[in-house]
Each structure stands twice: as C-alpha cells, then as structure tokens.
Amino acid sequence: MRNTHLRFLAALPFVFLFLLSDPSNAQVRFDRVENVAVEIAGTPMQNPWSGGINYPLTSSLDMDGDGRKDLFVFDRFNNRVSCFLNTGSTNVVTAWQYAPEMVQRFPPINKWALFYDYNCDGKEDLFMLSSLFPSGIAAWRNDYTQGTGLQFTLVNPFMRETFAGFPTNIFASAVSIPAFADVDSDGDMDIIGYNSVPDGRFIYHRNLSMDNYGTCDSLVYEWASACWGNFALQVGGANEVGCFHCPCRVGRPTEEPNPVLEPAYDPSDAARRDDTISSIYLLDLDGDNDMDALIGDISSYNTLMVHNGG
C-alpha cells in the first residue's frame, strides 16, 4: 500500500505537465457578445451594451456619408468615445445604432471635443484641447471621401491669434470649454472663450478669413474684445451674480437701466472667488439673427441663458 502511494505521488508532476501542454487547458478565452436582448418591463432596450455615460460631451456629424447626422459622445470621465449612427431618414431620427467600429476613425481626444464646419465644405471639423500646448486649441479637418470614409487631418496643433500686434495662442483649458460660432455673421467661424486669469468675462476671438481672403476656409484670428457682450458672471457657489449693460464689472445686479453693483468687483480679486466658467454654448434662441448664450459651470446645478439684446 505504501509503495502504491509513493508511485501515485511520483506521477503527479507528469499529470500537471500534460495538463499544461494541452492547448485546451493552457488559456481561457472570452468572446464579446452584444446581441443578447435586454428588456425593461417587456420593452426592449436600444443599444443595451454600449456602456454607461458619466460626463458626456455630445456632437452631431455625418460619420458614414449618408447625409444624416450621427451622434458622437465623448465621456470626459474616462476619455471614452462612443459613436451612434442615425438609422432614420434625413434629419429625422428614428433610432440610434451603436457603432463601435467608428471610434477608430477619430484621433485620440484630449480633454474635450467639439465639431464645427469651419471651412464650409459641409463636413464637421474637430476641435479639442491641444496635446502639444496645454493652454491651446487643436484643429482637425474632416477629410471624408467615399473611398476612404471618415478621416481627420491635423491642420493646426495650437491655434493662434494677433493680440496687440503680437501672435499668441487662443487660450483654452481642460475644464473651460469655448464656443465656436459665426458671431459677426460674416460666414467664418469665430470663438468665444475665456481669459487665462478667470474673471467671469468672455473673450471674443474674431476670425479674419472672410476679411482677408473672401472665403471661410482659414483659421486666422484677432483678439477682438476682452468682454464680449459687455457682461460678466460669477456662477456656482451659493449665489450666481452678474452685471449686464455695464463695463464688465461683476456684482449683484439691481434694476436697469442704471444697474448698481453690490459690491463692486475688482478683477484682481478673482483668485479669492469662483469666477471660472466651465462651458458656453452660442445659438440664436429667439430668431433675431444674433447669438444668445447658454452658460454652465461645474460647481452649479443651473444653466444660465443670456439673451443678446444687440
């Protein structure tokens, strides 16, 4: 009995070697399966395996050249891109189809991503925080063709402007998202951004492409105003205050037409206050052919609408 036991123990290493040499036991393989139906109270979910979204920035662009605007989602929480194709008719969405294969068509996104057709060719171009200059904006041109599909070309690693006769970068940061729009209605893409020293004001970077070349396909800028719209805001915290129709000083506004600032605001005091703005979006809300603004901040639950009375 003892000899049998010893022979069994001596054979164990050979058994383990056999198991390790067998390909079926050498590795465990997992396959991704996304065609399993998921229902909530009997109603099928659309795209149940597309993953969750925590801190999204969304944009629309035609990814597959079918004339329909598809959905681009960038989750700032984990730097994740998600793509959804529009399966409805032109300009009518009936359903979004999750399209993970489209993600590889985009360059690596740095901190945030916005799309705007700056060169007026009908294809939305990509703008993000510059990876070469941490306080700048990078521009990628959309070069979609039927042959190559969606692809982007870096045309400017960090965008510049003229300020007081000298070239400088157009300021942006990882937390403050600028707005791209045709502010002066001349056909080219202007930018509304922020001061490098937070003071609640908005900087107007005017595009000179139409002025210089008569076309909208260039990114040539000048610092046009340190206080676009003649207003300034303090958002977030316990109170959200601002001043309108006044020389860009922030305080609690009183009745117009002669607003009084309570208390007066000195921009040098910005370091002791939360005057950073996280995002601004421009659109014509009332159809009067000028740009109104939606403004949000990471420290506020509210979205502010600023009406352009110009």
pLDDT at residue 268, rounded to an integer: 42
- Euclidean distance between CA atoms 151 and 141, whole angstroms: 8
Q: Is the confidence at residue 131, as pLDDT, over 60? A: yes
Q: Where are the domains of the chain?
A: 158-310
By C-alpha distance, which of 115, 72, 66, 114 is closest to 91?
Answer: 66
* Selected residue with higher pLDDT from 202 and 32: 202
pLDDT tens digits for range 104-125? 999 999 999 999 999 999 999 9
Can you point out the beta strands (E) in 15-119? 39-40, 43-44, 56-61, 70-75, 80-86, 96-98, 113-116
Rounded to two decimals, the pTM is 0.78
Q: Is the confidence at residue 20, as pLDDT, over 80? A: no
pLDDT at residue 129, rounded to an integer: 96
pLDDT tens digits for range 210-246? 999 999 999 999 999 888 887 777 655 545 555 555 5
- Euclidean distance between CA atoms 278 and 271, whole angstroms: 16
CA dihedral 54→55→59→60, nearest 10 degrees, is 10
What is the percentage of the chain residues whose pLDDT exceeds 70? Answer: 74
Average pLDDT, the chain: 80
* Selected residue with higher pLDDT from 269 and 19: 19
Mean pLDDT of 140-155: 98
How many CB atoms neighbour CB 100 within 10 A? 15
pLDDT tens digits for range 241-265? 555 555 554 444 344 444 444 344 4
Q: Are 236 and 274 in contact (CB under 8 A)?
A: yes
